[in-house]
A and B are shown apart, each in its own frame.
Chain A
Amino acid sequence: MKINSYLRVWRLTATNALQIAFVNRGTNLFFLLGKAFRFLISLLFLFLIKESVSSVAGYSSDEMIVFFLTYQLIDSVAQTLFRNVYVFGNQVRSGELDFLLIKPLNPLFRILTDKPDINDLLFLIPTTLGSAYLLSTLSVTLTTSSLLLFGLLFLNAVIIALALHIIIVAMAISMVEIDGLVWLYRDLSALGRFPITIYHESVRLVLFFLLPIGLMLTIPAQVLQNLTPSVSLPIVFIVTMTLLAASLQFWKFSLKKYTSASS
């Protein structure tokens, strides 16, 4: 089975990443502390707002916290899975990409998923548990159907993150420099800490339909809380599939332009 080969390769690269993380225990501890500190400070800000403001753009303070927790979960998963894009520019420059292209696996698989971020993976455990506890204390309505639908939209969010990362690596084939693109993605996705509906209309349109950060982060949080989603769910899935198809076409197009000049 082809899927087994992919799983075996991912397990190997994940084990390597884990071993590296344990070799550099001190550094990784600092990374974890930094992530925890950032998470707690963001929560502190939201709780300070909660004490002073009853509603923000039509959302209660508790609902705002759910938007942030959803962002935290989806962003951490995307960071864990697609961390390797950070070094892709170097792989193009050094010619290492050639070695990935000749392997009997889809090159995108290793380009995106090599070296999963162990820090984010470890960080997911306490934050998910903490988020679940926080959710139980907030005045938001969760139902079995909203949780199931959230699960579906969570998978959809991972597909959107996948498509956006494919676009980044496809652009990096010709641009070589990838840091700027990755940080642009990180800054744009950070806008999803709050519901996208609070932003200016033009920004909102871009973030729902062009670079669908809103579909990735805002819609799952809305559905989880049984709020009316800003974009109807069939459109969410159509946009996601269109984006994924377009990103794959763009990747193929970029790969045809690749000249392997550095190797």
Chain B
Amino acid sequence: MKLGIVQFPGSNCDHDCLHVVRSVLQVEADLIWHEATQVAGYDALVLPGGFSYGDYLRSGSIARFSPVMRAVTDFAEAGGLVLGICNGFQILTEAGLLPGALLRNSALEFRCGWVHLRVESTASPFMASYGHGQVLRMPVAHGDGNYVADPDVLSRMRDNGQVTLRYCDAEGNVTPTANPNGSVDNIAGVCNESGNVFALMPHPERCAEPELGGVDGLGIWQAMVLALTSAPLRV
């Protein structure tokens, strides 16, 4: 089994993801350069956080045109597992692989800290380790995490179980004060209709080891590996 972590110019969580996959999960992984035109040999892909191309135009809007994104799209459309984190989430929405868009945080400021998340749907294979309604604690660090989507798109997403994670308080109540960025319905993570493409603004790679203050993110990584072990998929 081998995971591929896509490295765009300006990615800055690429090595963090590599560390978690290799050292914590003990699974083989490589960085995939943004100019690669194919992703053969990888069982799942990760689009890490960072500031691809400086996010100078709009977060993710330039990275979306990197040569590798053609291959990422083909991989996703063939059912391959794709995880987007933070900037990776932004790139996936820009690429049309996930619905909605991410705007500037409502406070117009970058926000770093720990948030609570409620598991809203376990439809995606990435959620297999968690129970419905479970409350997780993870770090966030972003300036553009304000999720929006058209009302009809949102309603379809809810029906399909595509709204995966929502910001909540420590008791699991979804409240405005628990929302760090103004996202509609406190949405923190979503998946596509088939569930194989999943992305979130919080950083599961930053909470996969106890010394960093929590291990609630580990479940996402483990679920990804589990899905590959039970149904290996090589596109």
A and B pair up = no
